[in-house]
Chain A
């Protein structure tokens, strides 16, 4: 019954978007996260994940990608230390939701279509180490929103800076964040409907290092952080309209 023995290995694929990402630090997220992928409805996106171990944890990544109807299109487990690249099966969709659960381990996520990471819920954006500049679409109707930061591990913290669309500083939160801190951000009318950004750096007011830090975005906006400004600007409003409608529907229920 036996055919030839086979050893299969995933060959790391050098994708154009992976090369682009070299200009910025890669985004390593720890603990479960969601990602939103914007499809074009014509060609199925391809996602790539690398699974990083922390503190010798052996938990692999359980990756599920579903379409707007909630149907799971891709469901796999990637072992720790490994990388996997997969085209999302089925008819191309306009949007996808990817759920990445690796417990306290970390992953690097990328995709050949615009994507954003969900920065709310239990972990917000829970990053490890240096973080690339991330972009937040602030809708036309958003008068204010909230930024929360926590970094519960001792001697870990960061300096999180929120920038206006023109690059000027809107808010700086610096410290060890053993106790969560929260700031309200007023949005000038002229700066609504545009992409703001967040940067991460070593803390200047605490003897700590930029390691594990959680940033939460809350308020009347879509809590998604994009890795490219253009993506936030191009898709932010569409996603906000969907998000607003979904929240209204939930509220009605």
Chain B
């Protein structure tokens, strides 16, 4: 059934060639896996010699600081918030310029020193949309604007219009603020949200970025890179153009009543609201590429690392698709976000034992196949932190990096404030060595699963989160049963791609294009196991229009099962492929596999990740698994001749492999947290 195809023809479209409404979200040539890496983010005091010395053991591939942004990203280079709050006079323009120049030199020296210690990519903080100040008291960004000429020696552009004109606007023209205007950390100044389509804001942010590049930074971390909800004149004009590029005049007439205004009511699930959301996504995407271009013109290349994947990993398919890395700031949940086993008392001596696993965001990366990978920033509980029981430890650090390597096709587990966690440096050293030694087994590979879970990203922009949520739940459940499971989005969806899978699950996909429906019907007709979740599957087309029951009935009839109610019916009455891992042991082991090519694969890598790792600085338990038997389905025509087991910090070992019915049978003698199995 698994018919290999030479070319995924539908993926040949380039990002710029999606005027036809068939592709409501962009598509591009698939970007295969990348080498995972280590990463530190630290907003503490970094300019001491001790801090730099701390980078010598296990230097991170990527480091991100706040203090390396030469100008304050929110308030500009002339603001002294402490003095303002104390009622004291701020430094004069001359003093501010001198301080700026000194800081600039300090930043340059730090970057050079970090590079000398082996850090590959040094980045600093900027915010996609925030400035702070007080327009009436001429504080913060306004003080800088008033003294623009004083900084002309630092290659300032022509003075833009007053910063108050940079603001995002509500439909009625009033200011739109993310967070609150009276944001406490800014008091007595205000927090403002600027529009990424406003050329006056561009002038300021371009200077901030160019100064970063001139100081030697390799790129920037772009915070709040989802916070665009603006109806300013630039956006309104941009939206008009956006629609006219995507739709023919007669379509605009038919679908939008000839009206190209942005949707003001975003609570609906109509096409105008979806297009408004997609326009903002594209606005952010273009702005991120603008930042890259500004930095590249000075630095030669420029790393773009936006924040905004938390609960929205699908943003890798839209606004972050050309970024290098996206942060998933995993701040929600009583169990925190660090991977492993969290145990928490609820009531009356009853504990919830929760498996924290970041499968969803990581699996989206190879499903989308963009350049962007996931940086997982985990919290130790939220809003209340509990480091002892939910914080990271050495084993959690290994597990975090293993998740990125195994399931993300690259990316990283973010190590926060390393000075507080002495274990981080040796873990980085070990994993750096492992990733470097096996780089060819991490880079340029393609997911190889038994089951695909079809989770298109488009419904999210129609305010239909069921696909995203159910897809994640199905993914976790099936991977928990020892199956190799891939997500599949519009970017990787095609008849050829479907044919690689023994089973395809479409969970709560109410919005489905005619092409997708046809491909799924054909897949089932060709013998594929198709499982739909939700009797209202394909109830709407890609433009959000209701689809007649008669038109979607062929899909429901073609499916092997149409589940309603709950997803635990999967694997019960509904047949699924035999899992790779048996039910007898290693029930917290999750697996993912990759091939060197979808077109005639010659080898297979299987990643084994054991989540039986206690979370918390007060804990260090690992439930290692002995004699883990795996039965691995191989691509058609491939025969396993040898298997090599690779474990971080250990020598590679050969293990026995036997072929049985197209499957490679192996036994991993001992699995602690992570192992990479290479089958040739």
Contact A34 B346 (CB under 8 A): yes
Q: Determine how close the nearest CB of chain B comes to the CB of A222; give it in whole angstroms.
A: 6
Contacts of A44 in B (CB 8 A): none
Contacts of A99 in B (CB 8 A): 346, 352
Most A C-beta atoms less than 10 A away, residue of B350, B533, B534: B350
Contact A246 B564 (CB under 8 A): no
Contacts of A77 in B (CB 8 A): 469-470, 473, 477, 566-568
Q: Which residues in chain A, 1-27, are within 8 Å of chain B measured between CB atoms?
A: 1-3, 5-10
A62 partner, pick from B267, B348, B473, beta carbons under 8 A = B473
Contact B347 A224 (CB under 8 A): yes
Contacts of B343 in A (CB 8 A): 70
Least CB separation from B344: chain A residue: A70
Q: Determine how close the nearest CB of chain B comes to the CB of A48; give it in whole angstroms.
A: 12
Q: Which residues in chain B, 264-292, are within 8 Å of chain A measured between CB atoms?
A: 267, 269
Cβ of A97 under 8 Å from chain B: yes
Q: Which residues in chain A, 79-107, are within 8 Å of chain B measured between CB atoms?
A: 79-80, 82-84, 86, 95-97, 99
Contacts of B351 in A (CB 8 A): 66, 70, 97
The proximity string for A residues 114-137 relative to B, scoring 1 for CB distances below 8 Å and 0 otherwise, is 000010111000000000000000
Least CB separation from A101: chain B residue: B333
Cβ of A58 under 8 Å from chain B: yes
Contact B347 A56 (CB under 8 A): no
Q: Which secondary structure characterizes the binding site on chain A?
A: mixed
Contacts of B348 in A (CB 8 A): 36, 95, 222, 224, 239-240, 242-243, 246
Give the total number of A-B pairs whose CB atoms are below 8 A apart: 139
Contact A79 B534 (CB under 8 A): yes
CA distance A55 to B268 in the complex (A): 10
Q: Determine how close the nearest CB of chain B comes to the CB of A111; give it in whole angstroms.
A: 15
The proximity string for B residues 547-580 relative to A, scoring 1 for CB distances below 8 Å and 0 otherwise, is 0000000001111111111111100011000000
Contacts of B267 in A (CB 8 A): 55-56
Contacts of A147 in B (CB 8 A): none
Contact B565 A58 (CB under 8 A): no
CA distance A243 to B348 in the complex (A): 3
B566 partner, pick from A57, A76, A122, beta carbons under 8 A = A76
Most A C-beta atoms less than 10 A away, residue of B529, B533, B562: B562
Contacts of A246 in B (CB 8 A): 345, 347-349
Contacts of B352 in A (CB 8 A): 34, 64, 66, 70, 97, 99
A95 partner, pick from B350, B469, B556, B573, beta carbons under 8 A = B350
Contact B470 A79 (CB under 8 A): yes
Cβ of B464 under 8 Å from chain A: yes
A60 partner, pick from B469, B556, B558, beta carbons under 8 A = B469
Contacts of A55 in B (CB 8 A): 267
Cβ of B334 under 8 Å from chain A: yes
Q: Which secondary structure characterizes the binding site on chain B?
A: mixed
Contact B347 A243 (CB under 8 A): yes
Cβ of B353 under 8 Å from chain A: yes
Cβ of A68 under 8 Å from chain B: yes
Q: A5-B557, A75-B477 are in contact. Are A118 and B346 (CB under 8 A)?
A: yes
Contact A122 B534 (CB under 8 A): no
Contact A6 B566 (CB under 8 A): no
Contacts of A224 in B (CB 8 A): 347-348
Q: A59-B469, A75-B477 are in contact. Are A245 and B349 (CB under 8 A)?
A: yes
Cβ of A223 under 8 Å from chain B: yes
B470 partner, pick from A10, A60, A71, A96, beta carbons under 8 A = A60
Contacts of A58 in B (CB 8 A): 464-466, 469, 508
Contact B346 A8 (CB under 8 A): no
Cβ of A72 under 8 Å from chain B: yes
Least CB separation from A55: chain B residue: B267
Q: A8-B564, A10-B566 are in contact. Are A79 and B466 (CB under 8 A)?
A: yes
CA distance A179 to B386 in the complex (A): 27
Contact B470 A8 (CB under 8 A): no
Cβ of B157 under 8 Å from chain A: no
Least CB separation from B567: chain A residue: A77
Q: Determine how close the nearest CB of chain A comes to the CB of B265; give it in whole angstroms.
A: 12
Cβ of A42 under 8 Å from chain B: no
Contacts of B349 in A (CB 8 A): 68, 242-243, 245-246
Q: A66-B353, A71-B353, A243-B349 are in contact. Are A6 and B573 (CB under 8 A)?
A: yes
Q: Determine how close the nearest CB of chain A comes to the CB of B298; give it in whole angstroms.
A: 44
Contacts of B533 in A (CB 8 A): 79
Least CB separation from A10: chain B residue: B565
Contacts of B558 in A (CB 8 A): 5
CA distance A226 to B337 in the complex (A): 32
Cβ of B103 under 8 Å from chain A: no
Q: Determine how close the nearest CB of chain A comes to the CB of B450; give it in whole angstroms.
A: 14
CA distance A73 to B26 in the complex (A): 42
Contact A8 B469 (CB under 8 A): no
Cβ of B258 under 8 Å from chain A: no
Contacts of A3 in B (CB 8 A): 560
CA distance A68 to B351 in the complex (A): 7
Cβ of B44 under 8 Å from chain A: no
Contact A10 B347 (CB under 8 A): no
Contacts of A189 in B (CB 8 A): none
Contacts of B524 in A (CB 8 A): 2
Contacts of A245 in B (CB 8 A): 349
Residues of A at under 8 Å CB distance from B? 1-3, 5-10, 34, 36, 55-60, 62, 64, 66, 68, 70-72, 75-80, 82-84, 86, 95-97, 99, 118, 120-122, 222-224, 239-240, 242-243, 245-246, 250
Given contacts A66-B350, A75-B477, A97-B347, list 6 more A-B pairs with CB under 8 A.
A6-B573, A8-B563, A68-B350, A76-B567, A82-B566, A99-B346
A-B pairs with lowest CB-CB distance, top 8 = A70-B353, A10-B565, A76-B568, A58-B466, A246-B349, A97-B350, A77-B473, A242-B349
Of the A-B pairs whose beta carbons lie under 8 Å apart in the complex, a sample of 7, sorted by A's number, is: A1-B529, A78-B566, A86-B566, A118-B346, A223-B347, A239-B348, A246-B349
